[in-house]
Amino acid sequence: MPGIPLRNGGTAARIAVIPGDGIGKEVTPEAVKVLRAVAGSAKRPMEFIEFDWGADKFLREGVSLPVGAIEILRDEFDAMLFGELGADILLGLRFKLDLYVNARPVELLHDRLTPLRDRTEKDIRLMVFRENSEGLYVGVGGFFKKGTADEIAVQEDVNSRKGVERIIRYAFEYARHNGLKRVCMSDKSNAMNFAHDLWQRVFKEVRPEYAEIDSRHLYIDTLAMEIVRDPRQFDVIVTCNLFGDIISDLGAQLAGGLGLAPSGNIHPGKTSLFEPVHGSAPNIAGKGIANPLGSVLASAMMLEFLGWKPEAVALREAVRAALQENHVTPDLGGEKRTQAVGDWLAERVEVKLK
């Protein structure tokens, strides 16, 4: 997608850095280290402002996100780089900043990392776009006779015409801008005959505008099977909030697991949020062995969002090289520590972009 116009007239990008909890505190500084190397070598100015929001602040001061935090992020920054923050904070930000696109690239960067037999790098390269602002995650519903044997719990699936259309259009636009030939919309319209009937109608209405793109529909259960059977069939997948949550994690495993998976929470033209998919990983936090590649790849997505595609490509290539030369952490079979991986990548992109 084309980059966004930067807040301060198109030169320096202001990035809010929020490492958050657990290994977020270890991987995020490495991503920033690599981004600083990009900024220096490519003469792309970037300004990083760090915030200590998260669980530790909550324990110290009783607040995780201070009053006005969201407005500051929205009005004063071009993008946000997160480490790990609790689901409540993240969901709040997605809704309040209307970050309606959840972009989850599934890209195999080294053959040995996929659990699929005989699949190689060229076979697994696709993008999942998950609707990120409505669906079953809006928190509309209620209990009836709670706590009794007759209890009923209702969770509403909220789908607006506007919400469905903008994510479907985003998927097509992404395909068009990136020369990708195939878009697959996935739903469960055979069972969810109201909400996903809307998805069907919108999809049918929008697809003729992208006649050069081969668009198809698969029910979500079929998609789950097909993506494992033959991932080569897919370039771009677009689906609702719940299905996107699940299918993108399935994709993450096909491409090497949690330590490597990046994500973007995007509203084109507005402050957007980039983060690794993994959580705080308390079992390894503080040991200096967390894999920073998910965070670095999220930073590459951020660069692309800011309109700095060559730099994003250089970053991804550096990650690919780290995997090839085994400059990686123990979770990927290497012996390097988190900081050593960051140092190596920073040096690599510096040389590349000079």
Q: Note the residue count of the chain.
A: 354
* 248 binds ligand ATP per the rule CB under 6 A: no
* 23 binds ligand ATP per the rule CB under 6 A: yes
Report DSSP state, residue 6. Answer: P
* 186 binds ligand ATP per the rule CB under 6 A: no
Q: By C-beta, is 85 or 167 nearer to ligand ATP?
A: 85
If we measure between CA atoms, which residue out of 307, 306, 300 comes closest to residue 322? 300
Rounded distance between C-alpha atoms, residue 349 and residue 344, angstroms = 9
Q: By C-beta, is 168 or 332 nearer to ligand ATP?
A: 332
* 340 binds ligand ATP per the rule CB under 6 A: no
- Residue least distant from ligand ATP (Cβ): 279
Tell me how far CA of residue 20 lies from CA of 2, 31, 84, 96, 215, in angstroms.
29, 14, 5, 19, 39
Residue choice 266, 290, 296, 300 for contact with ligand ATP (CB under 6 A):
290
Rounded distance between C-alpha atoms, residue 100 and residue 247, angstroms = 17
Tell me, by CB under 6 A, how many residues bind ligand ATP: 17
Task: Label residues 9-25 b or e (16+ Cβ within 10 Å = b).
Answer: eeeebbbbbbbbbbbbb
Angle at which helices 24-41 and 309-324 cross, to 10°: 120
With CB under 6 A as the contact rule, which of the stretches 110-118, 123-131, 170-178, 284-292 interacts with ligand ATP? 284-292
Rounded distance between C-alpha atoms, residue 226 and residue 278, angstroms = 25
Angle at which helices 338-353 and 293-305 cross, to 10°: 40
* 278 binds ligand ATP per the rule CB under 6 A: yes
Q: By C-beta, is 189 or 291 nearer to ligand ATP?
A: 291
**Spatial CB neighbours of 187, under 8 Å, sequence gap ≥ 6:** 196, 199, 200, 217, 219, 220, 239, 240, 243
Closest approach of ligand ATP to the CB of residue 318, in Å: 17
Over the window 205 to 244, marking each residue x when it contacts ligand ATP by CB under 6 A and - when it does not, the resulting string is ----------------------------------------
* Joined tokens for residue 272: 């957007």
Residue choice 118, 208, 283, 354 for contact with ligand ATP (CB under 6 A):
283
* 279 binds ligand ATP per the rule CB under 6 A: yes
Q: By C-beta, is 31 or 306 nearer to ligand ATP?
A: 31
Q: By C-beta, is 70 or 90 nearer to ligand ATP?
A: 90
With CB under 6 A as the contact rule, which of the stretches 1-9, 39-47, 132-140, 280-288 interacts with ligand ATP? 280-288
**Spatial CB neighbours of 211, under 8 Å, sequence gap ≥ 6:** none
Closest approach of ligand ATP to the CB of residue 258, in Å: 4
Q: By C-beta, is 102 or 215 nearer to ligand ATP?
A: 102
With CB under 6 A as the contact rule, which of the stretches 34-42, 102-110, 203-211, 277-285 interacts with ligand ATP? 277-285
Over the window 55 to 84, marking each residue x when it contacts ligand ATP by CB under 6 A and - when it does not, the resulting string is -----------------------------x
* 280 binds ligand ATP per the rule CB under 6 A: yes
Strands (E), 120-235: 125-131, 141-144, 152-155, 182-187, 214-219
Q: By C-beta, is 231 or 256 nearer to ligand ATP?
A: 256
Q: Are 211 and 272 in contact (CB under 8 A)?
A: no
Q: Which residues bind ligand ATP (CB under 6 A)?
A: 22-23, 27, 84, 258-259, 278-284, 290-291, 294, 331
